[in-house]
């Protein structure tokens, strides 16, 4: 899984039926210091994020496994809304 910042939303009325009910977010991959890593992506948002939120996201086949017996046609899926990163020692 990776870290990312939500930078926007995508509205798509016509989409695969299995994606109905899921929001789509624009995602900027970042490192733990917030530095941008690579290009922005469109992610399926399973938890309801807002712009500016730090999130964890997953790629590959695991992006499709949102529930027992439930798969969605996604290659990038947001799985965790991060409240904060704890450092016990300064980075």
Partner 1 sequence: MILGRVVAQVVSSIKHETYQKRTVLVVRPVSPEGAPRKGAIVAVDTVGAREGDMVLVASEGRAAMEILGYSHRIPIRSVIVGIVDRITRSSEGTAS
Kindly list the residues in this chain that would bind partner 1 in the complex (CB under 8 A): 1-3, 30-32, 37, 46-48, 56, 58-63, 65-66, 68-69, 77, 79-89, 91
5, 49 contact by CB (below 8 A): no
Helix (H, G, I), strand (E, B) or coil at 40: coil
- Kindly tell me which of 13 and 86 has the beta carbon lying closer to partner 1: 86
C-alpha 89 chain-centroid distance = 27
- Kindly tell me which of 10 and 47 has the beta carbon lying closer to partner 1: 47
CB of 14 to partner 1, least distance (A): 25
Provide the 8-state DSSP code for 33.
T
Torsion sign over Cα 30, 35, 38, 41: positive
- Kindly tell me which of 14 and 90 has the beta carbon lying closer to partner 1: 90
């Amino acid at each position: 899984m990776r870290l990312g910042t939500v930078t926007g939303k995508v509205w798509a009325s016509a989409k695969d039926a299995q994606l109905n009910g899921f929001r789509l977010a624009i995602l900027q991959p970042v490192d733990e210091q917030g530095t941008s890593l690579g290009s922005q992506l469109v992610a399926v948002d399973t938890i309801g994020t807002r712009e500016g939120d730090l999130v964890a996201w997953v790629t590959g086949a695991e992006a499709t496994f949102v529930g027992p017996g439930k798969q969605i046609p996604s290659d990038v899926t947001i799985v965790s809304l991060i409240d904060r990163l704890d450092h016990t020692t300064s980075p």
